[in-house]
Structure 1
């Protein structure tokens, strides 16, 4: 019997697929839709300490090969998502979910993480180091010194299962430098990748989104090769206990198969979930199982990370 079950750390999931933060995750109603679908779990919208309206609209636009967005971290605030997850911990204790969060400053990041640490929440936490769409705010993960300093401080008090959401890296030396930093810490996972920052899409003579004069993060088919490269580069470099979530350009079961082949233990879907709705989870699961059956694989561990190279 072919199974697409997987695990991150000590947490088991019935299916390798889940949403990407930013899609079907703003409200409890959207998260419930994902929870009731074929997905194995969900991740919340990346939460800041207080609720945010985000950037002016239009701030998301579907394009032929994916999407462009400059959302500006709209979210309901940490308490909204944390309270919901604590409720689920009581009503659905057999399931595990991901709480995504980010601070708009190092102090806010510590305030948020200390609040989660002090809470009864026992699920997974994703610290988003890759928010490219807040005007005037750089991506933390591109500043290696800041990243190391932040994680050093975080792990003086944080004891729960923490991972980081990463932007795409484009240089081999950056893979090396980032992995050297991450291997110093008891991270549970890294998530590769967030959107490719600061793309520009034009229709006729006008930009497609309003914020930042049209500059925004690219998602969808555009980014799959970059996402696969990041997944595999970190699979090659990180210590085995740090698992990888693959995100970027997943439209089909074949796309997910490639993410797992590169080393991903879970696969997130963003742009295509936005376009297609939660029915995508049932479709891509069936497509992935068909590929696995054809190749004689019973579980994703039969092929995870076993990418072939040319002699």
Structure 2
């Protein structure tokens, strides 16, 4: 029997597929729809210390090859999501979940993480170092000195399982430099990638989204090659104790297969989930299982990270 089960740190998941933060995760109702689907887990909307309205609309548009968005971190605040996942973990047969969070400043980040550290929540936390769509706020993960300093401060007090959501890197030396930093800390996972920041989509003679004069994060088919490159680059460079979650351009079971082949332990879907709804998990899971059966693979470990090169 083909199995798509997987592990992140000490946490088991019956299926390797889940949503990407930002899609189908704003409210308890949306999260419940993911939780009761074929997905192996969900991640909450990236939470800030206080609730945020986000950027003005239109701020998300589907395109021919994916999507563009500049959401601006709309969310209901850390207390809303922390309370929900804490309650869920105590229900019978509960799946393991991910709580996504970010501070609008380093001080906010520490306040939020200390709140989680002091809470009863025992699940996984994803610290978003890569939000590209908040005007005036740079992506932390592109500043290696700041990233190193922030992680050093975080791990001085945070003792629960923690991973980071990363933006795409485009230079080999940046993979080397980033991995050297991440390998210094007891990270449970890294998530590659967030959307490619500051793309521009035009309809006739006008931009298609309102914030930032139309500049927004690009997702969907456009980003899969970049996502696969980041997954594989970090798979080759990170300590084997740090799992990799692959995100970007996953529309079919074949796309998920390629993320795992590059080294991903879990795979998140975003744009196609927004377009199809939670039923996408059933379709993509079956397509992945069919590929595994055709190739004689019984588990993800049979092919995870075993990308072949040309001689």
Per the shorter chain, which TM-score range?
Answer: over 0.9
1:76 corresponding residue in structure 2: 76
2:243 corresponding residue in structure 1: 243
**Aligned with 2:310: secondary structure?**
coil
Q: Is 1:293 matched up with 2:293?
A: yes
2:263 corresponding residue in structure 1: 263
1:223 corresponding residue in structure 2: 223
How many residues are matched?
A: 311
Q: Is 1:28 matched up with 2:17?
A: no
Q: After superposition, what is the alpha-carbon deviation per residue over 1:19-39, rounded to whole angstroms, capped at 9, x for unaligned?
A: 000000000000000000000
1:151 corresponding residue in structure 2: 151
Q: After superposition, what is the alpha-carbon deviation per residue over 1:253-278, rounded to whole angstroms, capped at 9, x for unaligned?
A: 00000000000000000000000110
1:53 corresponding residue in structure 2: 53
**Aligned with 1:33: secondary structure?**
helix
* Aligned-residue offset at 1:92: 3.8
Write the distance in 1 (CA, Å) between the matches of 2:97 and 2:21.
12
**Aligned with 2:90: secondary structure?**
helix
CA distance 1:79–1:241, change in 2 (3 Å): same
1:181 corresponding residue in structure 2: 181
TM normalised by structure 2 equals 0.99
Write the distance in 1 (CA, Å) between the matches of 2:94 and 2:236.
32
**Aligned with 2:186: secondary structure?**
coil
Write the distance in 2 (CA, Å) between the matches of 1:184 and 1:94.
32
CA distance 1:198–1:220, change in 2 (3 Å): same
Gaps of at least 5 residues in structure 2 are: none
Runs (4 or more) in structure 1 with deviation over 4 Å come to: none
Write the distance in 2 (CA, Å) between the matches of 1:92 and 1:13.
15
1:142 corresponding residue in structure 2: 142
**Aligned with 1:305: secondary structure?**
coil
Q: After superposition, what is the alpha-carbon deviation per residue over 1:166-211, rounded to whole angstroms, capped at 9, x for unaligned?
A: 0000000000000000000000000000000000000000000000
The two structures, once aligned, show a CA RMSD in angstroms of 0.5
Q: After superposition, what is the alpha-carbon deviation per residue over 1:74-110, rounded to whole angstroms, capped at 9, x for unaligned?
A: 0000000011111101214542100000000000000
* Aligned-residue offset at 1:218: 0.1
2:192 corresponding residue in structure 1: 192
Write the distance in 2 (CA, Å) between the matches of 1:6 and 1:90.
21
Q: Is 1:17 matched up with 2:13?
A: no
Q: Is 1:89 matched up with 2:86?
A: no
Write the distance in 1 (CA, Å) between the matches of 2:6 and 2:155.
26
Write the distance in 2 (CA, Å) between the matches of 1:85 and 1:131.
22
